[in-house]
Chain A
Amino acid sequence: MPLIAITDVRKRFGANEVLKGIDLDVAAGEVCAIIGRSGSGKSTLLRCVNGLETIDGGSILVAGTHVSSEDQQLRALRLKVGMIFQQFNLFPHLTAGRNVMLSPMVVRKMPVGEAEDLARRMLDRVGLGQKFDAYPDQLSGGQQQRVAIARALAMQPLALLCDEITSALDPELVNEVLAVVGELAADGMTLMMVTHEMRFARQVCDRVVFMHQGRIHEIGPPDELFSAPRTPELRQFLGSTAH
């Protein structure tokens, strides 16, 4: 059974239908990249998976639980899937360590000492053990994004959703974040990532999904998709992003 099962998902913003029937299964441990032009619906799809957007049709199952708009169910779902954002969204009034500790303490009722140990382990895992007491505005963008990853990992999710997590970074900071994501992938974490890093997608992902105008236009292993795109849209898209 797939960990994330997306079936005929539809989503509209007013008159604009951004998802026109998406079917996609992501297996446990799979790393799945979603590529496509801006406005193709890839970020919306990701946000639907953890309920930040409600869907207008179809169904999404995560580890056997339906994604609904019901509060209690939504919270249960979010304990299973973590999300990392383009703009990091760290809590600016808390130190890096406290950012990581907050949710385990508030949601899982973990005692302070235990949460602190956990936060140190998670920050070590992203290579920022020494930044425990730094505030977000004292960290570089790459470091902030790694803290955000540690924060998501502290909730021990089954899957991580990454929404263009390197797009807001200066080019020289992109690799440190991708290295962390690469390690997670190697450790067997299930990842769904919207990305513009084609080289990374090619190296790390098991499968690449190309979205075009609200539909999955092409899907397959990265080697196949990148070296032999079947549709003119993908060929054009790859041509325009080739460095």
Chain B
Amino acid sequence: MIEFSTWDILRNLLLAARWTVLLSAVAFLGGGLAGLLVLVMRTARRPLPRRFALGFIELFQGTPLLMQLFLAFFALSLVGINMPPWLAAGLALVLWTAAFLAEIWRGCVEAIPRGQWEASASLGMGYLEQMRHVILPQALRIAVPPTVGFSVQVVKGTALTSIIGFVELSKAGTMITNATFQPFTVYALVALLYFVLCWPLSVASRFLERRLNAPHRHH
């Protein structure tokens, strides 16, 4: 029987953690861009984009991320589209993140007083111009802490992709456990690595919240 040192375990987990980081980044950036699009539709004046965005958000907030991963992975294969696990994982996480970020940001947009919309409309600006120059710059300030806070959820959400066979930190943990028969050591290290990834984000979120709520916020 081969002996595995703790360093062997940690080294392999660290290698797998790169995929967790990459998947989190893809989910967060892709979800951020898609979320911005959903947000603009969700707050649009026309009912059609508004309804579409609402449906999208309800669908992804109202079903477990796990089901979304299964559907992205298996359902698309059923209709003949071959989905490699990384693509299914990336796709599902991007859409899931987009739905949550759009809703978080909508709250921030709606926190901007109505007078800002009215003043910019009175100056002849159209909806996208109002958003771009007046509303979003102000909404951004209040959106930063909850957005950074949500990124913690994204990192932890990537763990679920192990179910469809994407080898990230959790999946690597399972595989290493099967080889070493040391579940406690392995999963403790897995948990520790997640903590190392998430904790700085939580701290940053709290720091930004204090910083951006300071009385004199500009300059």
Chain A residues in contact with chain B, CB under 8 A? Answer: 50, 52, 71, 75, 78-79, 82-83, 85, 87, 89-93, 102-103, 106-107, 135, 137, 148, 151-152, 155
Contact = CB atoms under 8 A, between A and B. Distances in A.
Contacts of B116: 89, 91
Given A85-B115, A93-B138, A106-B133, A135 B218 contact: yes
Contact of B124 (A90, A137, A155): A155
Contact of A89 (B115, B125, B126, B129): B115
Given A71-B126, A103-B125, 12 more contacts: A52-B121, A75-B125, A89-B113, A89-B115, A90-B119, A102-B123, A106-B125, A107-B124, A107-B125, A151-B123, A152-B122, A152-B123
A152 B120 CA distance: 10
B129 A78 contact: no
A85 B123 CA distance: 12
B61 to A, nearest CB: 30
A148 B116 CA distance: 12
A225 B169 CA distance: 81
A155 B123 contact: yes
A90 B122 CA distance: 12
A82 B133 contact: no
B91 to A, nearest CB: 35
A107 B119 contact: no
Given A103-B124, A151-B123, A52 B118 contact: yes
Nearest to B216: A137
A84 B141 CA distance: 26
Contact of A92 (B123, B129, B133, B138): B138
B62 to A, nearest CB: 32
Nearest to B126: A75
A82 B125 CA distance: 12
Contact of A91 (B122, B134, B216): B134
B138 A75 contact: no
Contacts of B115: 85, 87, 89
B138 A107 contact: no
Contacts, number: 62
The 6 closest A-B pairs by CB, nearest first: A89-B119, A103-B123, A89-B115, A83-B122, A78-B124, A107-B124
A77 to B, nearest CB: 9
10 contacts: A52-B118, A52-B121, A79-B124, A82-B122, A85-B115, A91-B120, A92-B218, A107-B125, A137-B216, A152-B123
A91 B119 contact: yes
A95 B113 CA distance: 18
Nearest to A83: B122
B137 interface: yes
A46 to B, nearest CB: 11
Contacts of B141: 93
A106 B121 contact: no
B142 to A, nearest CB: 12
Contacts of A137: 216, 218
B137 A107 contact: no
A14 B124 CA distance: 28
A75 B134 contact: no
A78 B133 CA distance: 18
Contacts of A103: 120, 123-125
A74 to B, nearest CB: 8
Contacts of B133: 102, 106
Given A85-B115, A87-B115, A93 B122 contact: no
B118 A93 contact: no
Contacts of A91: 116, 119-120, 134, 138
Nearest to B114: A89
Contacts of B125: 75, 103, 106-107
Nearest to A108: B124
Interface in B74-113: 113
B123 A50 contact: no
Contact of B119 (A75, A79, A85, A106): A85
Given A106-B133, A107-B129, A135-B218, A89 B123 contact: no
